[in-house]
Structure 1
Amino acid sequence: MSRVWNFSAGPAALPEPVLRQAAEEMLDWHGAGMGVMEMSHRGKEFMSIAEAAEADLRELLAVPSNYRILFMQGGAIAENAIIPMNLLGEKRVADYVVTGSWSQKAQKEARRYCEVNIAASAEANGFRSVPPMAEWKLSADPAYVFTCTNETIGGVEYPFEPDLATIGRGEVPVVADVSSHILSRKVDISRYGLLFGGAQKNIGPAGLTIVIVRDDLLGRSVPDCPTAFDYKTVADNGSMYNTPPTYGIYIAGLVFQWLKRQGGVAAIEAQNIAKAELLYGYLDGSDFYENRIDPACRSRMNVPFFLKDEALNDAFLAESKAAGLVQLKGHKSVGGMRASIYNAMPLAGVQALVDFMRDFAARRA
């Protein structure tokens, strides 16, 4: 068997030890005589899996006791609707900071449920940076402020954690879509009212959505919010109001255990910094490739880059695939290339990419 270096933005590569353990347990989980996909979500076997996964995630992210961890379905796109339905309460306005494709989609979806105020936008510079908080213009009484702290498509990551107290609005909860950099770096959960993300980038397979929500934000749902999407109902039922994505939770739990064996989030962040510095360092020193994002706002997880001669794009993709480097084509809305280097991508994979890029450029000099 030969595995490729998989730079997909999601569904993305998983740690090989996790895949091997899942394969070993596929037919018989810990002597249960059945695999996890076959288990009742209310049986003691699966309940132990879910409880351990939640506890490990709480430990890894240092989630305070006044926050609930919910295992849901529908992905981040569904949360773009579920969030306003849950957090509006009696308010009619929500504020959005637009830094790229995903926050743009989020604010468009929210308009189906409430008035939207664009508190800040980086559209004028082509979504190449994050507007500093001093430029944010919040509405008079928003239900929340929405942010996407890592834009998977554009490769923009917040270089700061939003703290509305610094602009005199500390009472407004901050919501963050953390889909593509959750668990890649330390985060102060207490700065946020709610964080959410699809699992398929840095946690596990597609189908599982993680929501971390502060207790005081539960119970605010609008009357027509579907019961299965009401955060309070989900929380009160331990994420078991309906059948959760059981296998996704199981794989996520294995990933959390793998992260703990690596030394936790602080240790994996150090590895991510090294990987990003290697790739961006090569790009910055090259006259053949370029990255167009403000260096202060570059994502450690999603690195878009362009060949200065884009007529060579097809050759680059074909030859990189032949070399065992796959899923490097940029998103159709942006073009170029994109290397997603999530936690599961080792430094050796990034080095292999840089070596190929250097060789490809040399052969066309």
Structure 2
Amino acid sequence: MSAALDIFCPFDAVGMNNQEIRHGFFLRYVLDPARPHGFGAECLRAFMWSAAEATQDDPDGSLKALDVHLMNLDDAIVDREYKSIDLLVQIPSEKVIIAIELKIDAMEHSGQLRRYRRIIRDEYSVSKGWRQLFLFLTKRGDLPSEEDGKGWRSLPLDNVVDALDRVATKGSGQPEARMMLHAYVAMLRRRHLNDQRMEDLARKLWREHGEALDYLISRKPDLSSDVMQFLADRHKDIADRLSGSLKTMIEPEHSAKNELRFGFADWDSIPGMLEGTGWNPSKRLILFMVKREPKSGSFRLQVYLGPGPRERRQALFDSLKAVGARVDGKWGIQESWRQLVVKDIPAPVDDEFVEGFAEKLQAEMQNFLHSFFALYDTAMKRLVEVVT
């Protein structure tokens, strides 16, 4: 098992895997056609294709795959931290400006997206012929906040990883640069995207060394982490409580360190519901999740439409829209992840108790689910009726 974890990675060596600033440095370098990596504009074009693919269902989307194919990107300028914007891509010859906000394990800060959007609209105005694109790059294409994220488009990290991987495997670029790009893609998949082999190794480590790992975790004071562990220890009890409150069967799902997942068992008979891929053992396409943000300690309640056959995902999404169910964001299902409903919960304050905050969070979970579940249930049952 040690050999399986004994993988040299230059990005892990410099502590980059969870450092958004360092991700920004590397992405700026490979996306910039003027840098001496030998890729030219290939990485930037691949990135823009991934953005066009992710936003293809967005009625307000301003970037299409054909546009990207025909663009001259050789004069592109890529800046990092321009007026605090993580990445800014300027293509003067095409009059295109792209603002990118990168969130690996963090959530957006209050007002930042609105502020960045105002900067771009003032400095690269549509009236002067500029086409503007605002991309919110996260692990699973999380939606930006409704209040501050107007105009921002959700871009899942796996779309970008797949695009860069295609560039790395083509054999273009300088050998050293190609090796680094391969290592970067591998690190992202290993650390941030679904990797079943690593999940299996983690479970084996917990089985064999659970006491030692528990001891180490117990020595790291973190109130929100303690709350998450408290909830995880009561995963089934919480599912039972939610089931009773909603009068439907909710089951605990395989979860991750900072994610607690639940499935809606009464929807399993819906055509295609159990055809999800690469996400959870139950293969359910729709899950409810409680996510902890490690840096801020805040929590996010989310309902996700996960990866699976596009026609199945589209049918579920269309049924929700048809009955007027709440679906946050104005775009379609995207290629893999679609966050359907979201609510942010501030981090516990220092003088709160674990049990008290956990109880408050469970009450928030119930209220959150009650706010949309009736119409979601109607939409799901409607699909069963159509088939029968």
Q: If the length of structure 1 is used for normalisation, what is the TM-score?
A: 0.29
Report which structure shows greater RCO (CA 8 Å, sep ≥6): 1
More helix by share: 2
